[in-house]
Amino acid sequence: MNTKKIVLPESEIPRQWYNIMADMPTPMEPPLHPGTGQPAGPDDLSPIFPMALIEQEVSQDQVIDIPDEVLEKYLIWRPTPMYRAYELEKHLDTPARIYFKNEGVSPAGSHKPNTAIAQAYYNKMAGTKKITTETGAGQWGSALSMCCSFFGIECKVFMVKISYNQKPYRRLMMETWGGNCIPSPSNQTNAGRKILEQNPESPGSLGIAISEAVEAAAMDDDTKYSLGSVLNHVLLHQTVIGLECQKQMAIAGDYPDVVIGCAGGGSNFSGCALPFVRDKINGKEIDIIAVEPASCPTLTRGPFAYDFGDAVQMTPLLPMHTLGHSFVPEPIHAGGLRYHGMAPIVSQLLLDDLIRAESISQMETFQAGITFARTEGFISAPETNHAVAMAIREAIKAKEEGKEKTILINWSGHGLVDMAAYEAYLSGKLADHALPEDEIHRALDDIAPLPKPKQYKPGTIL
């Protein structure tokens, strides 16, 4: 019998996160204060983040020790198994070897707890009593609720109201873990009240929810704010994924030619990819692909610019690929990929040609998810299906070219709480709509007046 799962013993779990900022050929541009337009320093961030996380946000150390208390919690689901997708290979009749790293084995069903547990820990150490955050579809809010419960921290999640009403299961997961989930806009914050005054029926948005969570944290000394993607320290924590994959590839006696992850804010993609980007910087030939939805093509159609992280312009300006903070993506089912911006680290790596980006339309991703489920068994989250679809493209290409090739997918989570999305697909209710050029241009106009990052490279902007 062939080995199906490449399993890393607990004793081999990585003891350090990998910080790519130490190795990037182009140094990162700093975030800017939204009021002054000047580089934002640690003091600007300290009202909402504990200092340990701010230090990680700006650290240039190549590796950062994972505290024992975090490692202990990681063991609940880590090391995660890396699978060889024999049945998918057979079905595609491809010479490619396809592996997938199963981050769906965490209790929350996704990669999100990798950083949630670290953030909860550092907050606990800093004396934080309560953490606020926002969530769209609920993957992040549920992961953070779980991790806060482990450390006895109160967790308040502002959940986009339309998702709160339409997706009760993830809200219920938060509550089962003791989290307090509130539909946003709420009347608990000035930001929320202001929106409700203008429109009592507002369905909410991630931008509004971020504003509410940040405000709730800033107003109270014992309360901090937590973000589930985009920022450097979040990507740092996720690198356990790729570090494990490297050890598992060694066990399998293989090494990836292609590394694939879906990208919304950039954290699961980076978690798997960054350790391989280091290898690429050191001379390895690897094709590293971030896959985004055609309806929210941040990396493939957005310029690299300074932009706000939220819709209401409260956060620092980040140097990133962006579709403009006023861009409202179609309500596709991959809610975790509906973000106008992209992690600055991912954006910079794209500029430096260390990774590439592809966009895929919704129908193709669900078709890929069905193929995957009927061959490998596991039902992927709609976000994850973007990575699966890209892997299938690459496997078919390998067949056409008659080339052996090793493909690694970061399988970021299962879709058992997202079955309504599959219903829409299976019942023929989904269709792809082209994203009009002018819709992007309109949103891009909003970022034109903002400062331009120095690292601007002509040719990378559409």
Q: Cα 104 to chain center, whole Å?
A: 14
Nearer to its own copies, 147 or 332 (CB): 147
**3-state SS assignment for residue 144:** helix
Only one of the segments 92-100, 168-176, 334-342, 436-444 lies at the binding site for its own copies (rule: CB under 8 A); that segment is: 168-176
The token pair at 274 is 């960054």
Nearer to its own copies, 66 or 288 (CB): 66
Q: Which of residues 304-323 bind its own copies (CB under 8 A)?
A: none
Nearer to its own copies, 373 or 396 (CB): 373
Question: Alpha-carbon distance 413 to 238, whole Å?
Answer: 14
Question: Alpha-carbon distance 327 to 53, whole Å?
Answer: 29
Question: Alpha-carbon distance 98 to 115, whole Å?
Answer: 27
Output the smallest distance, CB 365 to its own copies, in A: 14
Among 193, 370, 397, 399, the residue binding its own copies under the rule CB under 8 A is: 370
**3-state SS assignment for residue 197:** helix
Residue 11, burial from CB neighbour count under 10 angstroms (0-12, 13-18, 19+): exposed
**Pair type for strands 16-18 and 63-65:** antiparallel
Among 92, 249, 323, 417, the residue binding its own copies under the rule CB under 8 A is: 417
Q: Going by C-beta distance under 8 Å and a sequence separation of 6 or more, which residues neighbour residue 58?
A: 42, 232
Q: Which of residues 136-155 bind its own copies (CB under 8 A)?
A: 146, 149-150
DSSP letter at 256?
Answer: -
Only one of the segments 59-67, 227-235, 325-333, 372-380 lies at the binding site for its own copies (rule: CB under 8 A); that segment is: 372-380
Radius of gyration of the chain (CA): 21
Q: Which of residues 50-109 bind its own copies (CB under 8 A)?
A: 68, 71-72, 75-77, 83, 87, 105-109
Among 30, 47, 95, 178, the residue binding its own copies under the rule CB under 8 A is: 178
**Residue from 274, 261, 275, 276 nearest 337 by CA:** 261
User: Does 411 contact its own copies by CB under 8 A?
Assistant: no
Q: Are 383 and 421 in contact (CB under 8 A)?
A: no
Question: Alpha-carbon distance 401 to 383, whole Å?
Answer: 28
User: Does 379 contact its own copies by CB under 8 A?
Assistant: yes
**Residue from 178, 223, 187 nearest 208 by CA:** 187
Among 12, 197, 221, 423, the residue binding its own copies under the rule CB under 8 A is: 423
Nearer to its own copies, 404 or 423 (CB): 423
Nearer to its own copies, 231 or 332 (CB): 332
The token pair at 332 is 């596709």
- For 218, phi then psi, to 5°, come to -65, -30
- 3-class secondary structure per residue, 90-121: HHHCCCEEEEEEEHHHCCCCECCHHHHHHHHH
Output the smallest distance, CB 115 to its own copies, in A: 15
Among 176, 221, 222, 461, the residue binding its own copies under the rule CB under 8 A is: 176
User: Does 368 contact its own copies by CB under 8 A?
Assistant: no
Which residues are bridge partners to 156 per DSSP?
A: 132, 180
User: Does 284 contact its own copies by CB under 8 A?
Assistant: no
Nearer to its own copies, 72 or 222 (CB): 72
User: Does 219 contact its own copies by CB under 8 A?
Assistant: no
Nearer to its own copies, 49 or 177 (CB): 177
Question: Alpha-carbon distance 155 to 223, whole Å?
Answer: 9
Question: Alpha-carbon distance 335 to 206, whole Å?
Answer: 10
Among 342, 422, 450, 453, the residue binding its own copies under the rule CB under 8 A is: 422
CB atoms within 10 A of CB 236: 27
User: Does 10 contact its own copies by CB under 8 A?
Assistant: yes
Output the smallest distance, CB 106 to its own copies, in A: 8
Q: Which of residues 323-352 bind its own copies (CB under 8 A)?
A: none
Output the smallest distance, CB 345 to its own copies, in A: 29
**Residue from 149, 154, 150 nearest 182 by CA:** 154
Nearer to its own copies, 33 or 130 (CB): 130
User: Does 164 contact its own copies by CB under 8 A?
Assistant: no
User: Does 373 contact its own copies by CB under 8 A?
Assistant: yes
Residues interacting with its own copies, by CB under 8 A? 1-5, 7, 9-10, 68, 71-72, 75-77, 83, 87, 105-109, 146, 149-150, 168-169, 172-173, 175-178, 369-370, 373-379, 414, 416-417, 419-420, 422-423, 426
